[in-house]
Amino acid sequence: MKNRILTATAGVALSALLLAGCAGGGNGDSAGSGAAAAADCAPSDGPVTLEFTSWIPGIEKVVDMWNSANPDIQVKVQTGPNGNNGTYQNFFNQIAAGNAPDLGQIEYDALPNFLVQDCVENIAGCADVMAAKDQFVGWAWNQATLGQDNAVYGIPQDIGPMALFYRKDLFEKNGIAIPTTWDEYTEAAKKVRALGGYITNFSQSDINQFAGFVWQAGGQWFGNDSDGWTVSLTDPASKKVADYWQSLIDQDLVSTYPAWTDEWNNAYNSSKVWTWNSAVWGANSISSGAPDTAGGWAVADLPQWKAGDAVSGNWGGSSIAVLKGSTHAYEATKFALWLNTSQEALTALNEEANIYPATTEGLKLPSLAKGVDFYGGQKIYDVFAKAATEVTPDFTWGPTMTKTYADVSDGFKAAVSGSGTLADALQKGQDATIGALESQSIPVKK
Amino acid sequence: MSAVTTSRPRVGRSGAPRSDSPRSRAIREPLVSRTSAMLIMAVFTVYFLLPLWWLLVASSKSTGDILTTNPLWFADMRLFSNIGDLFAYRDGIFLRWLGNSLLYAGLGGAVATLLAAMAGYALAKYRFPGREIIFDVVLGGVLVPATALALPLFLIFSQVQLTNTFWAVFLPSLVSPFGVYLARIFAASSVPDELLEASRLDGAGEIRTFFTVSLRLMSPALVTMFLFQFVAIWNNFFLPLIMLRSEELFPVVFGLYGWNNQLNQIPELRGLVLIGALLSVIPLIVIFLLLQRFWRNGLGTGALK
């Protein structure tokens, strides 16, 4: 799942009505230091009914499979809008009011927020959780442990490894080689521009896409240990990525349409923009947004910083967490593990809602082995399965990502319209994020 | 008006045989102002109707055509098959949402109107200690946006285990401070004390007087109050967002918002969201057209007497 910067009025209203902190217990100690004691994971007596909130369309069909096989652990699906559009705030409110669901879907970049507010259970002590570790793609598991030993805050559900979507037909027709490095990408961009097109669109609002580039370049925006959080939006890798895109913007080699608008769709649909560095779920975004270009697309590895390397980034993905206050952590964990590791559930999730699994076995699902017509019959998921294993393992998100995204996005918008640079925007985001953390009394290491 | 004075010499210069008598000017002046008024209204009508037109056109297209064909004209006419798809999707959950909305807004609006009418009538016609304070508090309630109350309401409803139920959205909809205000003003001006006096003398109790005499006199205000409340409940987004988690309780506005959120995973939903939005405004249009007649009638008869 990708999450977007909230622009909806609902989002604005939500942040105004923030109910901070979770009433699940004394959150004074664990808030900030970012470590929670493991949940008590004893099985309950008798049959249990779990509540599970997710915004995945069609997930109830998958849950029905579980329910018919497990009469003693029944799961009731509840739904709501995408996390940042309301469901996260609902979780916080519900936990404070003591009626939260047992399980909730939480994207990786939102998990630290739930952790510092003490709103998720540490399920490391639950049966089978640690044993399941090896089934998952290594870095995805790290996203759920937040880099801590003996802690697991959610079961990874899906991931968004990144690759290069490109217009194979146009590249071939004009004799332009498919770029394998970012330098070649710039060269190709110049040729595409000479033909009147743009090689790609730089999104001012998808900061998590930019974070994916930084992730690939080996950057590290946040760090967390017992002394507190480190913030490094301006580390050398981030600067390198920012300068790279800044130079493309300065030379007018990329378009700057606001992403996810009709204008943006139309730019792709009318072949004005030729490539998109995006995550695996982007395959659907293109086919729905640019239907006229069917058959012309293909997928290649993300361009590299050093020729011969094989490193990818990640954009999006979520986990299933046991929310604070659940009295059925044992059963909830059992269900979450089934949902995200069993072949039947992953197949159903993939067919119902295009969920791209986070387990190594899941990457080989038969439904992912087929050629896709929109991409000229290419088996595009093979590229993503390879990319999934090439993502740098230890990128960490911070506890105030919504705010960080908004601040950096403001700066990016300014940079695109000519005032300041992307690097300036990161510096502003860095300062604002430290301010936001300190205002919530979250310890920051400088 | 300067437009009139400058227009006079221009007529003369054009050489048209035209007497400058006050009578002909009296006809011409309204013509100019009428044309400009019509022009301004036409511009605003287009401005307000264009999105609706776009919605109608987009609803009649297949998902692929929505983005690729002229947004303001029909492509392949698929309106009815789209409606069929919408009603069939997820076992007709959309119809359920539409029914929920009608129930929340229709029943909620009716009860809210009755309660507000009773309260406003009592405040207008009875003298009792604390009357003005109560009215002031109600007026204060008009100033507090419903959005600001959603979270406190959620916490209260959590205490009594009523979140994620029908009542969580229905009960808060029954309160309409603006309706109380309107009812009081209207009752004070349209229900004569002498009439109440007379019905009391005829032996009718207070409750009977209210329902048989006063309520009828107040009916134009009641229609207005009902319309306002109906639309407010129908469009209420924030309360369902906070209160509801079970899909089968969603009102249509919130349900469509959820679908719109899922476009990335299920692109086909784009068409369903559009046709759903079109169908969900129809009840509002219908209720306005139906009730507006009563509303105007009531105001008109009142004015003639």
At residue B137, does pLDDT exceed 90?
A: yes
Q: With bands split at pLDDT 50, 70 and 90, how would you rate the model's confidence at A10? A: very low
Q: With bands split at pLDDT 50, 70 and 90, how would you rate the model's confidence at B12? A: very low
Could you report the per-residue pLDDT of A201-235, keeping only the tens digit for each?
A: 999 999 999 999 999 999 999 998 878 899 999 99
**What is the structure's pLDDT at B23?**
53
Q: Check A90 against B241: CB less than 8 A apart.
A: yes
Could you tell me which of A292, A377, A326, A395 has the C-alpha nearest to residue A120? A326
Whole-number percent of chain B with pLDDT over 70: 87
- B89 at A interface, C-beta within 8 A: no
Q: Maximum distance among all alpha carbons in chain A?
A: 71
The stretch B197-206 carries a mean pLDDT of: 91
**What is the structure's pLDDT at B296?**
62
What six digits make up the tokens of A48? 């249990």
* Annotated domain spans of chain B: 20-81, 86-304
* Residues of B with Cβ-Cβ distance to A90 under 8 angstroms: 241-242, 245
Å between B273 CA and nearest CA of chain A: 14
Does CATH place domain B86-304 in 1.25.40.10? no
The helix/strand count (H/E) of chain A reads as 18, 10
Residue A86 has its nearest CB partner, among B241, B246, B265, at: B241
Residues 6+ apart with CB under 8 A from A43: A330, A331
Q: What is the mean pLDDT of chain A?
A: 90
- C-alpha–C-alpha distance, residues A58 and B91, integer Å: 12
Residues A281, B265: contact at Cβ < 8 Å? yes
Answer with the residue of higher pLDDT: B65 or A196: A196
Could you report the per-residue pLDDT of A308-335, keeping only the tens digit for each?
A: 999 999 999 999 999 999 999 999 999 9
What is the DSSP-derived secondary structure letter of residue A365?
A: -
What six digits make up the tokens of B179? 């309706």
Q: With bands split at pLDDT 50, 70 and 90, how would you rate the model's confidence at B297? A: low
**What is the structure's pLDDT at B70?**
83
- Find which of B264, B266, B270 to mutate to test the A interface (most A CBs within 10 Å of its CB): B264
Could you report the per-residue pLDDT of B15-60, keeping only the tens digit for each?
A: 444 445 555 555 566 788 889 999 999 999 999 999 999 999 999 9
**What is the structure's pLDDT at A410?**
96
**What is the structure's pLDDT at A353?**
86
Residue B261 has its nearest CB partner, among A55, A98, A284, at: A55
- C-alpha–C-alpha distance, residues A26 and A47, integer Å: 30
Helix or strand holding residue A321 (H, E)? strand A314-322
Could you report the per-residue pLDDT of A38-97, keeping only the tens digit for each?
A: 667 889 989 999 999 999 988 999 999 999 999 999 999 999 999 988 999 999 999 999
Å between A353 CA and nearest CA of chain B: 6
Could you report the per-residue pLDDT of A143-161, keeping only the tens digit for each?
A: 999 888 889 999 999 999 9
Q: Check B245 against A79: CB less than 8 A apart.
A: yes
Domain with CATH 3.40.190.10 in chain A: 9-159+317-371, 161-313+396-445
Could you report the per-residue pLDDT of A350-370, keeping only the tens digit for each?
A: 998 889 999 999 999 999 999
* Residue entry with tokens 């507190």: A228
Could you tell me which of A351, A352, A354, A210 has the C-alpha nearest to residue A281? A354
Residues A392, A291: contact at Cβ < 8 Å? no
At residue B301, does pLDDT exceed 70?
A: no
Chain A (105-124) residues lying within 8 Å, Cβ to Cβ, of chain B:
none
* Residues of A with Cβ-Cβ distance to B151 under 8 angstroms: 17, 19, 93
- C-alpha–C-alpha distance, residues B28 and B4, integer Å: 9
Residues in chain B: 305
Question: Which residue type occupies B150?
Answer: A
Q: Check A10 against B237: CB less than 8 A apart.
A: yes
Residue B238 has its nearest CB partner, among A10, A19, A289, at: A10
Q: Check A292 against B68: CB less than 8 A apart.
A: yes
Q: With bands split at pLDDT 50, 70 and 90, how would you rate the model's confidence at B77? A: confident
Could you report the per-residue pLDDT of A400-417, keeping only the tens digit for each?
A: 999 999 999 999 999 999
* Residues of A with Cβ-Cβ distance to B76 under 8 angstroms: none
SS3 content of chain A, % helix, strand, coil (to 5): 45, 15, 40
- A2 at B interface, C-beta within 8 A: yes
The class of domain A9-159+317-371 in CATH terms is alpha beta
At residue A31, does pLDDT exceed 60?
A: no
**What is the structure's pLDDT at B126?**
94
At residue A265, does pLDDT exceed 60?
A: yes
* Residues of A with Cβ-Cβ distance to B159 under 8 angstroms: 97
Residues 6+ apart with CB under 8 A from A22: A92, A95, A96, A117, A118, A119, A324, A325
* Lowest mean per-residue pLDDT among A27-36, A251-260, A341-350, B142-151: A27-36
Tell me whether strands A155-167 and A297-300 are parallel, antiparallel or unpaired: antiparallel
The stretch A23-47 carries a mean pLDDT of: 61
Return the CATH number of A161-313+396-445, one of 3.90.1150.10, 3.40.190.10, 3.40.50.720, 3.40.50.920.
3.40.190.10
Count contacts between A and B (CB, < 8 Å): 88
Chain B (12-51) residues lying within 8 Å, Cβ to Cβ, of chain A:
none
The stretch B256-280 carries a mean pLDDT of: 87
Answer with the residue of higher pLDDT: A39 or B198: B198
Chain B (226-265) residues lying within 8 Å, Cβ to Cβ, of chain A:
237-238, 241-242, 245-247, 257-258, 261-265
- C-alpha–C-alpha distance, residues A371 and A381, integer Å: 8
* Residue entry with tokens 């509540």: A51
Could you tell me which of B255, B100, B257 has the C-alpha nearest to residue B167? B100
**What is the structure's pLDDT at A30?**
40
* Lowest mean per-residue pLDDT among A291-300, A329-338, B295-304: B295-304
**What is the structure's pLDDT at B268?**
78
Residues A76, A51: contact at Cβ < 8 Å? yes
Could you tell me which of A203, A148, A173 has the C-alpha nearest to residue A4? A203
Å between A51 CA and nearest CA of chain B: 10
* Residue entry with tokens 């995945």: A56
Q: With bands split at pLDDT 50, 70 and 90, how would you rate the model's confidence at A17? A: very low
What six digits make up the tokens of B71? 């947004």
**What is the structure's pLDDT at B134?**
95
At residue B210, does pLDDT exceed 70?
A: yes
**What is the structure's pLDDT at A11?**
41
The stretch A332-346 carries a mean pLDDT of: 96
The stretch B158-164 carries a mean pLDDT of: 94
Would you call A56 helix, strand, or coil by DSSP? coil
**What is the structure's pLDDT at A308?**
94
- A98 at B interface, C-beta within 8 A: yes
The stretch B8-18 carries a mean pLDDT of: 43
Residues 6+ apart with CB under 8 A from A77: A52, A53, A54, A59, A60, A63
**What is the structure's pLDDT at A40?**
75
- A295 at B interface, C-beta within 8 A: no
* Residues of B with Cβ-Cβ distance to A284 under 8 angstroms: 264-265, 267
Å between B93 CA and nearest CA of chain A: 12
At residue B195, does pLDDT exceed 60?
A: yes
* Residues of A with Cβ-Cβ distance to B247 under 8 angstroms: 78-79
ipTM: 0.81
Neighbours of A441 (CB within 10 A): 10
What six digits make up the tokens of B168? 């969580």
Q: Check B63 against A288: CB less than 8 A apart.
A: yes
* Lowest mean per-residue pLDDT among A85-94, A136-145, A289-298, B263-272: B263-272
